[in-house]
Structure 1
Amino acid sequence: MNITSIPSETQAEENVKMLAPIIVQAEGADESTYVAKTSRAATKTATSLLETPQAISVVTKTELEARNVQSVGEAVRYNSGVLGDYWGGADLRYDKTLIRGFDAAQYLNGLKLSEGHFAGLGRPEPYGLQRVEVLKGPSSVLYGQNAPGGLVNLVSKKPTAETIREINVSLGSSDRRQGSFDFGGAIDAEGEFQYRLVGLARDSATQTDYGKNNRQYIAPSFSWEPSSDTKFTILGSYLREDLGNQVNVLPPIGTLTHAPFGRIPTSFYTGEPSFDKFIRTSKSIGYEFQHRFDDVWTFRQNFRHDRQDADYRYVSYSGAPLVGTTMRRKRSFVDQNVSSFAVDNQAEAEFSIGRVDHDVMIGLDYRYIDSSFRFGTAAASSLDVANPVYGTLVQVPPTTRSEQTDQHQAGLYIQDQMRLDKWAFTLSGRYDMVDSSTSNRLKNTVVDQDDEKFTWRAGLVYLADNGLAPYASYSTSFEPTPGSDFGGTAFEPTTGEQYEIGVKYQPIGFDSFVTLSAYDLTQKNVTTSDPDNPGFDVQTGETRVRGIELEGVAVLNDSLSLKASYTYMDGKVTESNDYEGNVPAQIPHHVASLWVDYAFADGPLEGLGIGAGVRYVDERFGDMANKMELPSITLVDATLRYDLEKLAPELEGVNFRVNASNLFDKTYVGQCASTRYCQYGARRTVTASIGYKW
């Protein structure tokens, strides 16, 4: 609409009625295959991936179900630029994801998930997700404080007018037993009221002796849509995890290299079954509100309150070298509570001035975090690696660290997405204010820190008629750095900047999407040791990562889908008093993956589907000192599914599937965070499930 042309009231109403379904379709219509067409992660608007001047990977609902993913890390393992579960996937405390060489934060429906200390990094339930979006590169311009590599946005299952009835039962490796359900649909005949109820319960051991992987999850949601212009959705969730002892770190000698007695088994348990426990609960309640005033203005408000509590105690390897086969151990506990409130207000205006179409968004968000953390550690009895005997009485150690942290973050942002003929231009800016206060309850001291930062992004895309879209962009980020230097001056935030160029390709009339990108990413103000004052840090460090990413996903015909990716990363510590010239930890030079899915559409095998994937991760260093080099790994995954209706019509809606991760059961070390600690990666896991949809 040209702003010099004012439509009649009737015409405006018709335009609104036409526009609303288009937005809904853009967000949900690309979930039926592996290929996504839109994402809100980069712009907070329903922008096509082709018009977004930044690399984005999307894992659709179809792919999540086909691969039966068990974690967010598993979900993104076939995307370029990303290392999901880069610690190997055997440590169930975390969903550690590395994007372009940096740890990535997780968001749920556009709002950041709570993060505490090492027991407070949760693992969201993937069965409750509709899709997973990976935004690569700095993201602070719309989201505030973040590492420069990018972020992972999780989109939860939400109410829908479509009737959903699904139950599943599965058995698998490590005595796994699991049941899940997904119900949803319209409550009334008009579809004004809708609901969704997703649940899961699991009882399982792990590859480690005495390990646990138990969880209970429930996620109710309800929507009220009185008109095509207004929608209000309430979203809730509860997750309880019982994980036993997950700090199963081991010495490098005996895992990464041979010890005189051979290798330590992957099932070896360093803890004490009668003492160890890890109970973590995650609760959230929130809402999403949207109202379209006319054919120009739309307002959205998203709110969520998160609460996470962790009660954790464990016996683990101390880090001291083995004496023969004797391992020294320590006992520790963690008591942590993290609570957060987050609200994001967005006013979006769509209009035209002359030949230029504008999509302008003005936003104001606020987040408050209240975190309480207690930790204690002390020596524990030793253990014989060759002949472990458990049952030693263990006392909870005294508290050695106790902190209370409060943080407030407020950000004001504006974004203009402009379109002129075949050119799409995005310009965004944001100003953040972050105030935090940390109380040391043992020393009765308080450290206050106030940070303010402006970040921005600019990007340009050319949309050719043949589906090619070359693009270029520049973006910045910031992340507060806790602590102070020798003189007591609080550290400044680390900052990031990225130059990115690339080309996206969406062939006309062909269900596929390809992205080729190259980037130069730099993080500044990194802390490094103070050469003049041992034990203190200064902010003179800098890290640079340059890379090339290629990712393609395609539905070649009604039976065959594939997803392929290749990543090249050149990481280097460019300035440091400790590690200048080294490669940052966990950054391999090469990462590649291929997933192929084939469904038999006719003949005697009709109803059968098979899938297979291969993942390669190049050699990398586990530590910043570059002393712990992890060998390259190649892992294979596979899936097989069958629609039992093809066997007998009365079995309509019943399906059977088998999924395998690390199919050939390769034993490998997933990570070595230092010269003292290593962890094995996940061994082969097989899950067989039967489901019923009606």
Structure 2
Amino acid sequence: MVSDTQTHRRRPSRPARFSRLLLGSTALIALPLAAAAQEGGEGSGGTYRLSPIIVDLGLQADDDATSLVAKELWTGGKVATSILDTPASVSVVTQKEIEQRDADTVEEVLQYSSGIYTDYYGTDDRNDYYLVRGFQASTYRDGLTLGSMRGVREEPYAYERLEVMKGGNSTLFGTSDPGGTVNFVTKLPKFERFGEIYGSYGTDDHKELGFDFGDVLDENQTLAYRVVGKIQDSALEYDASRDDERFLLGSLAWEPTAATRLTFAVEYLDRDGTPNSGGYPLDRLYDRELFFGEPDFNYHDVERLTVSAGLQHEFDNGLSLRANLRYSDLTDGFGYVYLSDNAARVGNLVDRFYFGGDSTAEELIGNAILQYDTSFGTIDSSTLAGVEFRDASTTSSSFYGAYTQIDVTNPVYSGAPTGYAPYSVQASDYTTKSIFAQQNLSFSDRLVATVGLRQDWLDITNVNSSTGTPVTTQGDFSETSYRGALTYKLTNEVSAYASYVQSVAPPSIGVEPERGEQYEVGVKYQPDSYNALFTASAYELTKKNVVVPVVLPSGAIERQTIGESRVRGIELEAKAELTANVSMTAGYAYQDAAYVRGNVRGATVDGNAFATVPNHIGSLWVNYELPGAGPRGDMNFGVGARIVGPYYYNVTNDNGKSPTQVYLDAGFSYGITADTALTVNVSNIFDKQYVVGRGTADYYNNGRTISAALRHSW
């Protein structure tokens, strides 16, 4: 809620006749000031939306803590934006949904979203693995690319919500993959007193303690803070494993006037884990607890520091300025011994290899955006223009080699490999400069036309010291991308759209950039009678110069380029609070993913299906709340089902096919007091075991996990 003092400070709003249709057509680019739209109370003190794109700082965009149904986007962290009128397929996972399902990883957060397949490498825990519309998704934090920070497993507790915009869109986000964009919205100050602390314990000796609290620091309510933290001590489902973490996020927000806001945040993330179990032999299903790596060698240590600042100022004439800056520093080291099995193996001895490396990354990224809103009779106009830069440097040293065999029926470990030397030593510098512009026009509050243009200049320098003598190569790229969309408001509850977007993936020296284009049509329904959002879309997505990982006969993995690939599909998603007690999330996606032309290891893959991309993905989660009576507190019961259709394990479609996967999950919470709740969650209730990935070994899905948490809030 906004206090009387806050409401009084808000400057008077302009007439809000600007069509809210434009709200969904804005460029959504890069500024971590989402909290500016978080605070405030609905309709308090006469505050309301200033325009379809600019949001009054006194109006709350979405209350993610109390609703499953997000109706506005913070993609780009720039403004709150109507999902109903956004000309794209969008999935938002709110804080309430994350807590209901006790989603502890990004893969778990996204696994109930339509068109997204997660955790396809199973016990490989080095990264967050998910595919959107059959392709890798580009990742952003408050609208700014994570870039060279992408290899880190993100901590979901750091974020208010996760937003997925389906399909590539380099006009909005710069160089990016065509499948879609995943935007993490950071928890920032809210100009009110709040907090929570929780502790949990679960399967694999998983122990976790977290806290999230904040308050206003001065009586004039111009300065506020927030502190978020988590400590985790855990193993994984296989022997000789660990999954430990330390995380801390602190932020300050200063709002000297209703028109100006400055935000500053510092985050530290430290992960100490194991990369995987070494995989499992190919001949049959094995016990998940088995470990075929080396206890003294399989390690993965990640440390990241992030410092960010954002500025927002609204002038009195329809003009607004937004600016953003972020610095990140990362160290990442891992090593592991893994199985290298083959279908023709005889006996119980299986070959093994070791692989690993050390890497660093340092990155500075920022932008400045101007936006101007005005009207011409029945036509509303919003013009956006901005500049963006990114300066990043990375180093990497990788090692690889053959190791001792292991008896898979009686594993005896050999100790950590010794005497190895790196086969690859690289150092790279990346510089990106971008300009972008977008024009939105709304005609008679019904039809919205959106046109966008972006130009990216990329300079890449690589120093290869693998042979001892440094070899320097350089590459310059200049890429232009376009976007066009039409949105038509059929009624106040129903909108339809058609769009064309382009994507340009980050290139490598000597390789043509991967370019993608997508055609999409869709319809969205947001009923007035209850809180819900239903969406349906159909699309065709094409990508050229595709680079895919290929397992060579030696057991090594090499990235090779395929000429062209295409995905055609439909997506359905529903998020609804059907009654005061019943809510549900449902999704279904059909994907027809195939290589149009290309070769791998000299063999054609024309017409082959993508690896790890199922034709069918479906999910349903239903939650029922039983209000408390007398001494009994509120109770919530949730049950979910996920179905993943079969898919091939590799691009040549000759290494087997996965079975249909079916999972059941459940959650329960009990209100011990008004401010304290006990929650219990079970994932994969029936402990189903499937081979979800296959290369030199098999990789299984996660087994059944049970967790219990006690949470106190104020």
After TM superposition, the score normalised by the length of structure 2 is 0.88
Distance 1:596 1:110, change over 3 A: same
> Partners of 2:65 and 2:439 in 1: how far apart?
27
In the alignment, which residue of structure 2 is the partner of 1:648? none
**1:250 positional shift:** 2.8
**Equivalent residues of 1:495, 1:524 under 8 A apart:** yes
> Partners of 1:104 and 1:478 in 2: how far apart?
12
**1:603 positional shift:** 4.3
In the alignment, which residue of structure 1 is the partner of 2:209? 179
**1:25 positional shift:** 3.0
**1:42 positional shift:** 7.5
Once the two structures are superposed, the pairs formed by residues 414-433 of structure 1 within 5 Å of their partners are 414-421=437-444, 422-433=446-457
> Partners of 2:143 and 2:478 in 1: how far apart?
22
> Partners of 1:97 and 1:42 in 2: how far apart?
21
**1:26 positional shift:** 5.1
> Partners of 1:319 and 1:151 in 2: how far apart?
35
For structure 2, list consecutive stretches of 5 or more residues without a partner in the other structure. 1-9, 16-46, 550-556
Once the two structures are superposed, the pairs formed by residues 6-21 of structure 1 within 5 Å of their partners are 14-15=13-14, 19=50
**Equivalent residues of 1:291, 1:300 under 8 A apart:** yes
> Partners of 1:326 and 1:537 in 2: how far apart?
29
For structure 1, list consecutive stretches of 5 or more residues without a partner in the other structure. 1-10, 484-489, 530-534, 646-651
**Equivalent residues of 1:180, 1:199 under 8 A apart:** yes
Identity of aligned residues (%): 32
Aligned partner (choices 228, 231, 238) of residue 201 of structure 1:
231
In the alignment, which residue of structure 2 is the partner of 1:280? 302
Name the SS for the 1:683 alignment partner: coil
Aligned partner (choices 513, 517, 520) of residue 537 of structure 2:
517
Aligned residue type for 2:577 = V
Q: Residues 481-514 of structure 1: CA distance to partner in whole angstroms, max 9, x if unpaired?
A: 325xxxxxx3321111111001000112320001
Indicate whether 1:598 and 2:624 are aligned: yes
In the alignment, which residue of structure 1 is the partner of 2:642? 615
Distance 1:623 1:477, change over 3 A: same
**Equivalent residues of 2:64, 2:161 under 8 A apart:** no
Name the SS for the 1:62 alignment partner: helix
Name the SS for the 1:621 alignment partner: coil
Name the SS for the 1:460 alignment partner: strand
**Equivalent residues of 1:23, 1:46 under 8 A apart:** no
Distance 1:192 1:525, change over 3 A: same
Distance 1:425 1:281, change over 3 A: same
Once the two structures are superposed, the pairs formed by residues 399-438 of structure 1 within 5 Å of their partners are 399-421=422-444, 422-438=446-462
> Partners of 1:71 and 1:313 in 2: how far apart?
22
Aligned residue type for 1:599 = E
Indicate whether 1:629 and 2:654 are aligned: no
**Equivalent residues of 1:306, 1:339 under 8 A apart:** yes
**1:466 positional shift:** 4.7
In the alignment, which residue of structure 2 is the partner of 1:487? none
**Equivalent residues of 2:64, 2:160 under 8 A apart:** no
Aligned residue type for 1:298 = S
> Partners of 1:536 and 1:219 in 2: how far apart?
37
**1:31 positional shift:** 4.9
Aligned residue type for 2:609 = V
Distance 1:437 1:212, change over 3 A: same
Aligned length: 654
Aligned residue type for 1:15 = R
Name the SS for the 2:567 alignment partner: strand
> Partners of 1:223 and 1:26 in 2: how far apart?
16
**Equivalent residues of 2:683, 2:705 under 8 A apart:** yes
Indicate whether 1:97 and 2:130 are aligned: yes
In the alignment, which residue of structure 2 is the partner of 1:7? none
**1:379 positional shift:** 2.3
Aligned partner (choices 67, 78, 82) of residue 33 of structure 1:
67
Aligned partner (choices 235, 256, 272) of residue 242 of structure 1:
272
> Partners of 1:276 and 1:339 in 2: how far apart?
25
**Equivalent residues of 1:115, 1:121 under 8 A apart:** yes
Indicate whether 1:389 and 2:424 are aligned: no
Distance 1:55 1:669, change over 3 A: same
In the alignment, which residue of structure 2 is the partner of 1:451? 477
**Equivalent residues of 1:505, 1:513 under 8 A apart:** yes
Indicate whether 1:588 and 2:606 are aligned: no
**1:539 positional shift:** 6.8
> Partners of 2:481 and 2:116 in 1: how far apart?
24
Aligned partner (choices 87, 97, 102) of residue 63 of structure 1:
97
The worse-fitting range, judged by mean Cα deviation, of 171-180 and 161-170 is: 161-170
Distance 1:635 1:150, change over 3 A: same
Aligned residue type for 2:100 = A
In the alignment, which residue of structure 2 is the partner of 1:492? 512
**1:361 positional shift:** 1.2
Q: Residues 350-382 of structure 1: CA distance to partner in whole angstroms, max 9, x if unpaired?
A: 111221111221111111221100011222222
The worse-fitting range, judged by mean Cα deviation, of 32-41 and 131-140 is: 32-41
In the alignment, which residue of structure 1 is the partner of 2:146? 113
**Equivalent residues of 1:26, 1:38 under 8 A apart:** no
> Partners of 1:398 and 1:343 in 2: how far apart?
38
**Equivalent residues of 1:528, 1:576 under 8 A apart:** no
Q: Could you say what the CA RMSD is over the residues aligned between the two structures, in angstroms?
A: 2.4
Aligned partner (choices 176, 180, 191) of residue 150 of structure 1:
180
Indicate whether 1:134 and 2:168 are aligned: no
After TM superposition, the score normalised by the length of structure 1 is 0.90
**1:252 positional shift:** 2.4
Once the two structures are superposed, the pairs formed by residues 290-689 of structure 1 within 5 Å of their partners are 290-319=312-341, 322-390=345-413, 392=415, 394-395=417-418, 397-421=420-444, 422-443=446-467, 444-483=470-509, 490-526=510-546, 541-577=563-599, 578-603=604-629, 606-627=633-654, 628-645=656-673, 652-672=674-694, 674=695, 676-689=696-709
> Partners of 2:356 and 2:595 in 1: how far apart?
34
**Equivalent residues of 2:294, 2:337 under 8 A apart:** yes
Distance 1:226 1:23, change over 3 A: closer
> Partners of 1:615 and 1:222 in 2: how far apart?
40
Indicate whether 1:221 and 2:251 are aligned: yes
Q: Residues 94-115 of structure 1: CA distance to partner in whole angstroms, max 9, x if unpaired?
A: 1112111101121111111143
Q: Residues 370-402 of structure 1: CA distance to partner in whole angstroms, max 9, x if unpaired?
A: 110001122222211111123535315211111
> Partners of 2:316 and 2:177 in 1: how far apart?
37
Name the SS for the 2:454 alignment partner: strand
**1:249 positional shift:** 2.2
> Partners of 1:220 and 1:358 in 2: how far apart?
38
> Partners of 2:560 and 2:417 in 1: how far apart?
40
**1:12 positional shift:** 8.7
> Partners of 1:187 and 1:300 in 2: how far apart?
24
**Equivalent residues of 2:238, 2:277 under 8 A apart:** no
**1:30 positional shift:** 5.5
> Partners of 1:378 and 1:555 in 2: how far apart?
55
**Equivalent residues of 2:249, 2:265 under 8 A apart:** yes
Distance 1:540 1:644, change over 3 A: closer
**1:314 positional shift:** 2.1
**Equivalent residues of 1:547, 1:569 under 8 A apart:** yes
Aligned residue type for 1:395 = T
In the alignment, which residue of structure 2 is the partner of 1:532? none
> Partners of 2:189 and 2:559 in 1: how far apart?
50
